[in-house]
Chains A and B, each alone.
Chain A
Amino acid sequence: DAGVTQSPTHLIKTRGQQVTLRCSPKSGHDTVSWYQQALGQGPQFIFQYYEEEERQRGNFPDRFSGHQFPNYSSELNVNALLLGDSALYLCASRAGGSHEQYFGPGTRLTVT
Chain B
Amino acid sequence: AQSVTQLDSQVPVFEEAPVELRCNYSSSVSVYLFWYVQYPNQGLQLLLKYLSGSTLVKGINGFEAEFNKSQTSFHLRKPSVHISDTAEYFCAVRGDSWGKLQFGAGTQVVVTP
Contact = CB atoms under 8 A, between A and B. Distances in A.
A45 B98 CA distance: 12
Interface residues of B, number: 23
B113 interface: no
A90 B99 contact: no
Interface in B26-47: 32, 36, 42-46
A57 B77 CA distance: 33
A106 B99 contact: no
Given A42-B90, A90-B44, A101 B101 contact: yes
Contacts, number: 59
Nearest to A88: B43
Contact of A45 (B32, B42, B100, B105): B100
Interface in B67-113: 90, 92, 94, 96, 98-106
Interface in A27-44: 31, 33, 35, 40-44
B98 A55 contact: yes
Contacts of B43: 4, 90, 103-106
10 contacts: A35-B103, A41-B105, A42-B90, A42-B106, A43-B44, A43-B90, A45-B100, A45-B102, A56-B100, A90-B43
Interface of A: 4, 31, 33, 35, 40-45, 48, 55-56, 58, 90, 92, 94, 99-106
Interface of B: 4, 32, 36, 42-46, 49, 51, 90, 92, 94, 96, 98-106
Given A42-B92, A42-B103, A101-B99, 11 more contacts: A33-B101, A35-B101, A48-B100, A55-B98, A56-B98, A58-B100, A100-B46, A100-B49, A103-B36, A103-B43, A104-B43
